[in-house]
């Protein structure tokens, strides 16, 4: 089956359809040193406790810590 790539004009018109306020997704990596591998076991336990994946766990913990540190400001929640 042949695939047809977008012509430049078509690609530009598709790109312009994205709303101005939307932002592209962000992906970040976490590196662990040799003596930090025990954290992976703790991550697994927390993911089981909260019944979520790694990404949701990180977002949840950031929101929780933010709410503790900046209790006078607007609270944030993770859906």
Asked if 76 and 63 count as a contact pair (C-beta separation under 8 A), the reply is: yes
Enclosing domain of residue 43:
37-79
| CB contact set of 78 (below 8 Å; sequence gap of 6+) | 56, 59, 60, 63
- In the structure, what pLDDT confidence band is assigned to residue 48 with cuts at 50, 70 and 90? very high
pLDDT, residue 49, reads 93
pLDDT surpasses 80 at 14: no
DSSP string, 19-48: -TT------------GGGTHHHHHHHHHHH
Total domains, the chain: 1
> Whole-structure pTM over 0.85, yes or no?
no
Q: Is residue 5 one of the residues assigned to a domain?
A: no
SS3 70: coil
Q: Is the predicted pLDDT of residue 7 greater than 60, yes or no? A: no
- Domain membership of residue 29 (yes or no) is no
> Does some domain include residue 71?
yes
pLDDT value at residue 57: 94
In-domain check, residue 11: no
Residue 59 lies inside a defined structural domain of this protein: yes
Query: What is the per-residue pLDDT for 11?
Result: 52
């Amino acid at each position: 089956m042949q695939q047809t790539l977008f012509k430049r004009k078509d690609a530009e018109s598709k790109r312009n359809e994205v709303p101005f306020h939307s932002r592209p997704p962000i992906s970040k990596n976490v590196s662990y040193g040799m003596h930090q591998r025990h954290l992976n076991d703790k991550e697994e336990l927390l993911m089981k406790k909260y019944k979520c994946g790694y990404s949701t766990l990180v977002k949840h913990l950031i929101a929780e810590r933010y709410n503790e540190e900046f209790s006078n400001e607007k609270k944030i929640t993770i859906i």
